[in-house]
Structure 1
Amino acid sequence: MRELVYHVATSLDGFIADAAGDFSQFPQDRETLAALFDRYPETCPAHLREALGVTGAPRRFDTVVMGRRTHAPALDAGLVGGAYPHLRQVVVTHRDLPASSDVEVVGGDVRAGVADLLAEPGKDVWLCGGADLAGQLVDLVDEIQVKVNPILLGDGIPLFRGLDRPRDVHAVAVEPLPGGVMLVTYRTRPRG
């Protein structure tokens, strides 16, 4: 069965963006990006692939799930087809989005919609963000990969929002990346 992997950047103090949703304060070291995109080339947005020399085919993920606010920068840049047209793109929202054959919209029972995705054959599913969606899907998440950036934001959008109770996770790997970023991997349940 496919796994849901929350692969996201965060500040050292646990914020995925500032209070306004801006994540541009995170360092954008080319060596860090190269290391991350070497591991998961599919996580590089299409409009940056050529400039960053990312040519690899998807390795782990064939589907990306994100909330409307995470999808918004693509729309703001005029990318109606989304930032990841090389993946199946699923945007969770109860609002209308511009029509695109490259973006699926899931509304209503979000957990059931994502559970149905996970039951389909294919590679793992990348939960791209954001905090509200991660909070809603936390019980479906198999793995959390946090790219901890060497910056303190002090306030902002947390990694998860709206959790109704504590959950145990188990650290399985800590890997230093160029640029002072640490890739920390947690499992919510054993693999398999």
Structure 2
Amino acid sequence: MRELIYYVAVSLDGYIAGPEGQFDAFLVEGDHLAGINAEFGDTIPTDIAAHLGIDQSGGRFSTVLMGAATHAVGLPDMPSPYRHLEQVVFTHRELEPAENLTTTDANPVEVVRELKQRGEGSGGGRDGGTGDIWLCGGADLASQLHGEIDRLVLKRQPFLFGSGIPLFAPGDYAPVRFDHVRTRDFDSGVALTEYVRRP
């Protein structure tokens, strides 16, 4: 079955963006870029990857999920930021039509369960929807989907925001246990840490 993977950059104090939604403090230079992009190149916006010469044809993901605020980060320049993937934006607002992008106000849990049933998570982002599912953000969507997240891949950034948008919005649910899979440390201070949901 396909996995839902919450892959996101996060500060040491647990924020994925600052108080106004800003994320410009995240390090965009350093040895972590090449290491992370080699493994997760399919999480780079399509046009940026093309500009950098990054091949996205054999990536891990075939679908990306976003809340409206996460999708809005690229507007108006990138209405379809990850058009090499199937993009699903959860919103009650009407958005302009964009290539390979679907909007829905359906229950995120039901949508994810349907997506997971499509096929086995064997990678290959352009293979017709059978690669894994990338939860791009944001905090409210992650909180709603906490019970469906199979894996966390956190790009821990070496600074504190102090306040802002948390990794998960506050929710009324029991503790969920994840087991550490690996951590890869970079000289830049960024660490890529992966956890898998305990059965």
Which ranges in structure 1 are unaligned for 5 or more consecutive residues? none
Aligned counterparts, 1:37-76, within 5 A = 37-76=37-76
Deviations 1:71-102 (A, max 9, x none): 1122232x22x110111111111111111242
Shift of 1:51: 3.3
Match of 2:10 in 1: 10
> What is the identity, as a one-letter code, of the residue corresponding to 2:179?
H
Q: TM-score, normalised by structure 2?
A: 0.89
Aligned counterparts, 1:81-160, within 5 A = 82-121=80-119, 122-160=130-168
Moved more, 126-135 or 174-183: 174-183
Indicate the structure with greater helix content: 1
**1:138 aligned counterpart, secondary structure:** coil
Following TM superposition, the consecutive aligned residue runs of length 4 or more in structure 1 with deviations greater than 4 angstroms are none
Deviations 1:136-178 (A, max 9, x none): 0010000001100011111111000132122222112111134
Moved more, 26-35 or 138-147: 26-35
**2:136 aligned counterpart, secondary structure:** strand
Distance (whole Å) between structure 1 residues aligned to residue 32 and residue 51 of structure 2: 15
Contact preservation (8 Å) 2:9, 2:157: yes
Distance (whole Å) between structure 2 residues aligned to residue 131 and residue 181 of structure 1: 21
| Aligned positions, number | 188
Deviations 1:7-45 (A, max 9, x none): 000001110000111111111115322211100211111
Matched, 1:175 2:184: yes
> What is the identity, as a one-letter code, of the residue corresponding to 1:170?
D
Contact preservation (8 Å) 2:3, 2:133: yes
Distance (whole Å) between structure 2 residues aligned to residue 162 and residue 111 of structure 1: 17
Contact preservation (8 Å) 1:67, 1:130: yes
Distance (whole Å) between structure 2 residues aligned to residue 56 and residue 103 of structure 1: 18
Shift of 1:119: 1.0
**1:180 aligned counterpart, secondary structure:** coil
Distance 1:178 1:76, change over 3 A: farther
> What is the identity, as a one-letter code, of the residue corresponding to 2:113?
A
Match of 2:195 in 1: 186
Distance (whole Å) between structure 2 residues aligned to residue 108 and residue 55 of structure 1: 33
Match of 1:21 in 2: 21
